[in-house]
Chains A and B, each alone.
Chain A
């Protein structure tokens, strides 16, 4: 079980603000693998909301997700999909992040 790695780009307008960050953390916590996210400068535990917020990932940021464990492959696939789908925020929204 090697460490798997995937690069993703933040596409939704307001980036990893509180709600998407919580979605990412909740999803990561469903897997037993050790999951980390890096923005190039900072590598953090994807299961910690405070840490994910610290990435300050705005629209366009490239993140590297690594996963190590039994369900690493599934974890990466579902996390990648979540980010690519813009955390369900891709419909036109002009009134700022919801929370």
Chain B
């Protein structure tokens, strides 16, 4: 009783706090908590979005997802995209950041601004522009390669299964490169300059400085950068949707376009929202597990190295 009263009093005392928090709590509950829970619930139903949600089918949607070769193809493609984008993008952006971090290099702000530009532009629009630049006829890339006689006939870059994914990966690297450049620059700038000065006095070469100062001190931020890059690229949708729609013959189909097809597109007939939700949950859990395992491995590697250095 006593406790209740004091709780009531406390709540009354904090009424302004609750009032300020109320809009956020209400909207957060409606548009974040509810959709996440509901998407899990829907995945156990057979549902087309028009009838009431009453056809409970247990785990059957998940079994259908796990046994659909189309899903695994999209799953594989998502990982191909990620493995194509992340290592190249992160290493190139780190190299660029090291050069641009040099305070003596005049104009580095201009380079930084231009390299970041693709990040701020609408992926859907940029993807369409890129589809034209890589177009078969009159596309800039083909014109350039024909003019320099590197190819004899125009190549249908986005229309053939062999090249379409490589092109999407290239555009993907270009589009989000700027994020990682800025992240690396932020990381490099957090390293105190005196460390390099001291190393120079001791006669360390620039390679040694990179190996023994830059690498270990960048590690904590590198883990975050790598995780963000992996998660972002595993959820690619806009670029693939506008450039190839997952084609040709599903050669570039990723999980996000695969799910979209079952939920919203008419090409698969009646919407299968339960199935689409199950695929979303399944993929979400899988990618989270990968992130956890990767995070643990990197932490481990860090610790081993620390032990070794001691």
Q: Do A and B bind each other?
A: no
